[in-house]
Structure 1
Amino acid sequence: MDFLSNSSWTTNPLIALLIVLLSTVIMGAFLSKNQFPVEGKTILITGASEGMGLSAARQLSSKGANIILVSRDSTKLAKAQALVESAALHPQTQRFTYFTADVSQPDYAAPLLSKAVSWNNGQALDVVWCVAGTSTPDFWFEVPLQRTRAQMDINFWGGAEMAHAILRLWCAPDAPVLPEAKHLVLTSSALALFPVIGYGPYTPAKSALRGLADTLSQELLVYPQNVKVHVVYPASIGSPGFDRENRTKPAVTKLIEEGDPVQTPDVVASGAIRGLERGQYFITTALFAHIFHWGSLGGSIRNNWLVDTIMACLIPIVWIFALPDILSKIKKYGKTHGHPSLYREKDIEEFEKKQKSNA
């Protein structure tokens, strides 16, 4: 958000301390063992036909993993598979395939996993990464409630269905207890850490996914199998999905987000994979998402008890300055532009003008 880069408080000693702590974490990452080795492992990724999912698939392929891509569109998947194969570390031995599935549909996961395990020569998958999701921003009660239900189906239930199905396989009474961990990676959003006006139909689903993951991180401790759960909290990603999102995004939302860095899918996927290799549970990929993370840890597993505890104490000071700035912008916007029911036509007109000027 722009206040994180433009406000005067960013020059205070808190930022200096933040840089020192981040440097400590980075140095520790260079010295630590890779806790997410993927060479020779089989990884299933949903939402893998474009954006972050496709970037993650390509990067994991370049590290020697066998990849199963999942999405709804077989044409996009075929093209995605060709890109993923071209990045392979060991093209002669790595294996790749794709399956179509609609993650918003009930009970999709178990049949999908059955096909995936069969393709994997009857062996259990090593990693499942749920990336599939969509955002259609708007004012929450200015649009039908179905908008929220639809986004809950794909953004929460899509991951929850897969988590339920894969954990029942990995943690079954007769499932082997192996020294190397299996990994379930769920993809939430930085908006689950700090809500922003205009994302009412979207944020509840991503927040629910965080709540599920925090609970699973505790439940898995009672099972003998070595299974790890991780949550990735991306910020804005410059992808086809982001372009679709901007078509309905209210202008006041764009105002609040003005100045936010829009990361490429490759940058976000790379940051997420680095977090997995460090063994992190709570993975953020942008500076302001790190700040949101420290400000909302609650019952989430800590990545680094020292750094996370210090920053969780300091970040509330930041909000003394930052939150009033955000709220004042929203109030000012409301006084200037009138009732939100009038915004839609204005926002659409403005969006179309920008599209034409950029063409």
Structure 2
Amino acid sequence: MSPSFPLQGKTAAVTGAASGIGFASAKAMADAGARVVLIDRDAAALEKACAAIGHHALPLVLDLLDPAQCNSLLERALALVGQLDIFHANAGLYLGGDLLGTTPQAIDRMLNLNVNVVMKNVHNVLPHMVGRRTGDILVTSSLAAHYPTPWEPVYASSKWAIDCFVQTVRRQMFKHGIRVGSVSPGPVVTGLLADWPAEKLAEARASGSLIEAAEVAQVLLFMLTRPRGMTIRDVVLMPTNFDL
């Protein structure tokens, strides 16, 4: 393994990979030498993302909210790369504002993608990794998983649930040689911030309280490149100027 390409020979899959943290994660892993399957439902955006990364990037168009497509993730990823060493469950939705201002349909959609799909994707890929007795599972969580953020009760609840899922599955999987960890960033410059309350977004921008997706990706790469006997189980990162 070359120090310049610490993931050389590895394969990875990233959900929600056409933009934001998912794209940054896929690019960081590809730049480190891995072959990466980028998974997203937006075919046009996925094509652009893969072109931007280069020949180490392979597109896989999936709508994870469609149960049949969701269940095909591992099979279709293996058809592209043969084996899976790293899985980054990143796809998610944001829903902020007052609880009374949202709808049951919006709540269902967000919880389905942020919680159910993550659990199903991890359930899908784990038997493959257990059989090989090695693998890394990374999950994009949020600073909201660690604080009852008052302007996003549904979103924060989804991330609290996923944080619990990561920590419990990690305890089940380490005996199989599989590491499970999450990254919990504060506000990141991605499309999800479009749903932030306008006054909160303006305040964050004015105070320099946002971080870049590429900065999150560097943390993910750090987690992946530790010796196999070390698990970074959760990293909380935030802009220095941002504090709840």
Question: Normalising by structure 1, what TM-score?
Answer: 0.60
The structure in which a higher percent of residues are strand is: 2
Give secondary structure in 2 for the equivalent of 1:40. coil
Q: Which amino acid aligns with 1:219?
A: Q
- Assess, with a 3 A threshold, how the Cα gap between structure 1 residues 187 and 285 changes in structure 2: closer, same or farther: same
For residues 151-190 of structure 1, what are the alpha-carbon distances to aligned partners after superposition, in whole Å with 9 as ceiling and x for unaligned? 101111221111111112222xxx234xxx3101111110
Matches of 1:240 and 1:287, distance apart in 2 = 18
Deviation at 1:37, TM superposition (A): 4.1
Of 136, 139, 147, 1:186 maps to: 139
Tell me if the contact between 1:236 and 1:262 (Cα under 8 Å) persists in the aligned partners. Answer: yes
Deviation at 1:255, TM superposition (A): 8.3
Matches of 1:156 and 1:288, distance apart in 2 = 29
Of 231, 235, 238, 1:283 maps to: 235
Residue of structure 2 in register with 1:133 after alignment: 92
Give secondary structure in 1 for the equivalent of 2:181. strand
Residue of structure 1 in register with 2:101 after alignment: 142
Q: List gaps (5 residues or longer) in structure 1.
A: 1-33, 86-90, 292-321, 327-359
Of 58, 78, 82, 1:97 maps to: 58
Deviation at 1:274, TM superposition (A): 2.1
The structure in which a higher percent of residues are helix is: 1
Tell me if the contact between 1:138 and 1:250 (Cα under 8 Å) persists in the aligned partners. Answer: no
Matches of 1:191 and 1:82, distance apart in 2 = 33
Tell me if the contact between 2:210 and 2:239 (Cα under 8 Å) persists in the aligned partners. Answer: no
Residue of structure 2 in register with 1:44 after alignment: 13
Matches of 1:267 and 1:137, distance apart in 2 = 24
Q: Which amino acid aligns with 1:245?
A: D
Q: List gaps (5 residues or longer) in structure 2.
A: none
Deviation at 1:80, TM superposition (A): 0.3
Matches of 1:132 and 1:49, distance apart in 2 = 10
1:235 aligns with 2:235: no
Tell me if the contact between 1:147 and 1:201 (Cα under 8 Å) persists in the aligned partners. Answer: no
Residue of structure 1 in register with 2:219 after alignment: 271
1:262 aligns with 2:214: no
Deviation at 1:284, TM superposition (A): 2.1
- Assess, with a 3 A threshold, how the Cα gap between structure 1 residues 264 and 255 changes in structure 2: closer, same or farther: closer
Matches of 1:260 and 1:158, distance apart in 2 = 33
For residues 258-297 of structure 1, what are the alpha-carbon distances to aligned partners after superposition, in whole Å with 9 as ceiling and x for unaligned? 73621111112112322333441112222679x9xxxxxx
- Assess, with a 3 A threshold, how the Cα gap between structure 1 residues 43 and 176 changes in structure 2: closer, same or farther: closer
Counting only pairs closer than 5 Å after superposition, residues 14-163 of structure 1 correspond to structure 2 as: 37-85=6-54, 95-120=56-81, 123-163=82-122
Range with bigger deviation, 106-115 or 265-274: 106-115
For residues 207-262 of structure 1, what are the alpha-carbon distances to aligned partners after superposition, in whole Å with 9 as ceiling and x for unaligned? 111111111011114x5x311101110111112232x223xx264x5588573621
For residues 283-335 of structure 1, what are the alpha-carbon distances to aligned partners after superposition, in whole Å with 9 as ceiling and x for unaligned? 2222679x9xxxxxxxxxxxxxxxxxxxxxxxxxxxxxx9xxx7xxxxxxxxx
Matches of 1:284 and 1:108, distance apart in 2 = 32
1:213 aligns with 2:163: no
For residues 16-40 of structure 1, what are the alpha-carbon distances to aligned partners after superposition, in whole Å with 9 as ceiling and x for unaligned? xxxxxxxxxxxxxxxxxx9x94111
Larger radius of gyration: 1
Tell me if the contact between 2:91 and 2:113 (Cα under 8 Å) persists in the aligned partners. Answer: yes
CA RMSD of aligned residues (A): 2.6
Tell me if the contact between 1:183 and 1:227 (Cα under 8 Å) persists in the aligned partners. Answer: yes
Give secondary structure in 2 for the equivalent of 1:202. helix
Residue of structure 1 in register with 2:132 after alignment: 176
Range with bigger deviation, 161-170 or 278-287: 278-287
Give secondary structure in 1 for the equivalent of 2:66. coil
Question: Normalising by structure 2, what TM-score?
Answer: 0.86
Give secondary structure in 2 for the equivalent of 1:134. coil
Range with bigger deviation, 278-287 or 58-67: 278-287
Deviation at 1:206, TM superposition (A): 1.0
Range with bigger deviation, 43-52 or 131-140: 131-140
Deviation at 1:110, TM superposition (A): 3.1
Range with bigger deviation, 257-266 or 38-47: 257-266
Range with bigger deviation, 50-59 or 104-113: 104-113
Counting only pairs closer than 5 Å after superposition, residues 255-334 of structure 1 correspond to structure 2 as: 259=207, 261-278=209-226, 279-286=231-238
Deviation at 1:102, TM superposition (A): 1.8
